[in-house]
A and B are shown apart, each in its own frame.
Chain A
Amino acid sequence: MNIDPATTTFDQEVRHYVYDQTMKVGTSPTVVETAAALSATPAKVQASFHRLADAHMLVLQRDTGEVLMANPFSAVPTPFLAQVDGQTYYGNCIWDVLGIPAMLRRDAFIQTSCGDCGTSMTLRIVNGSLEPAIGIAHFAIPAAQWWSDIVFN
């Protein structure tokens, strides 16, 4: 697990922009959008995305190099949806979708479904607390292997 990444000041600016935009609008900016916002070339931003991915700060879409995950947010729709102040966000898993109100420090209404039968399940975060709800979370992959296949996990 690489947790001592070789990232640059520009990477910090990219990470800030990606998270800021994702937190504001619910989806991650593209390479081109990020380049325009930071007055940089797309190639420079793409290289930064890859460094941030190597440092486990972003997960990229394999074929396009665009952001797939800026944890806890998913850049693509998933079965883990959080509504916060009228804005819709997607999490990557049950842990991450709970991470969205934790990061935004806001109340949230979470819509998800049972991994077995698909029955709709809802959770509410109110004033920093999880309201009582039926259900359990299951972590299938041992912690040491979480980053081996982060998309599956």
Chain B
Amino acid sequence: MLIFRSEEHLEKWLKDWHMPQGAILSLEQCWQLAQAFYGPDRRAPDWRRKTLDEIEALFAEMGFTSPFWRLR
């Protein structure tokens, strides 16, 4: 996951690398996603990875409902 100065810079990068466009997030959305995934303390004995259902619910809550975000 990379950061770009603007959509114009992303479009140039996609063209240069012959890559299809994936998902574009605002930096605020990326920060929210980072807090959701990395907020819990992974040193805790009972820490576990989120289940697919939990991740899908999180994506839906954030409005990430396109096929790009499907996990299965």
Asked whether, in the complex, the Cβ of B1 is within 8 Å of the Cβ of A144, the reply is no
B41 to chain A, nearest CB (A): 7
Give the residues from 18 to 63 in chain B that come closer than 8 angstroms, CB to CB, to chain A: 19, 21-31, 33-35, 37-39, 41-43, 45, 47, 49-52, 55, 59
CA distance A153 to B69 in the complex (A): 14
Cβ-defined contact, A140 with B6, below 8 A:
no
CB-based contact A114/B4 at 8 Å: yes
Question: Residues on B close to A: CB < 8 A?
Answer: 1-7, 9-10, 12-13, 16, 19, 21-31, 33-35, 37-39, 41-43, 45, 47, 49-52, 55, 59, 67-72
Q: Are the CB atoms of A121 and B3 closer together than 8 Å?
A: yes
The verdict on A116 contacting B12 (CB below 8 Å), with A72-B38, A144-B70 known, is: yes
The residue in chain B whose Cβ has the minimal distance to the Cβ of A13 is: B45
Q: Does A75 contact B (CB under 8 A)?
A: no
Residues of B within 8 A of A86 (CB): none
- What count of chain A residues pass the 8 Å CB interface test? 49
Output the nearest chain B residue to A114 by Cβ-Cβ distance.
B5
Interface: A6 (CB within 8 A)? no
- List the A side residues contacting B42 at CB < 8 Å: 15, 19, 57, 70, 103
Stretch at the interface among A26-34, A39-47, A93-101: A93-101
B5, B26, B45: residue with the most chain A Cβ atoms closer than 10 Å: B5
A56-B49, A93-B1, A153-B1 as given contacts; A136 in contact with B27, CB under 8 Å: yes
How many Å from the CB of B2 to the closest CB on chain A?
A: 3
What are the nearest 6 A-B pairs in CB distance?
A: A99-B38, A115-B2, A98-B34, A116-B9, A93-B1, A116-B13
Q: A98-B31, A142-B22 are in contact. Are A137 and B3 (CB under 8 A)?
A: yes
Tell me the minimal C-beta distance from A140 to chain B in angstroms: 4
Interface CB pairs A-B, < 8 A, 23 = A1-B71, A3-B50, A23-B43, A57-B42, A94-B2, A95-B30, A95-B34, A102-B37, A102-B38, A103-B38, A112-B3, A114-B4, A115-B10, A116-B5, A116-B10, A116-B13, A117-B9, A133-B27, A136-B4, A138-B1, A142-B67, A143-B55, A153-B1
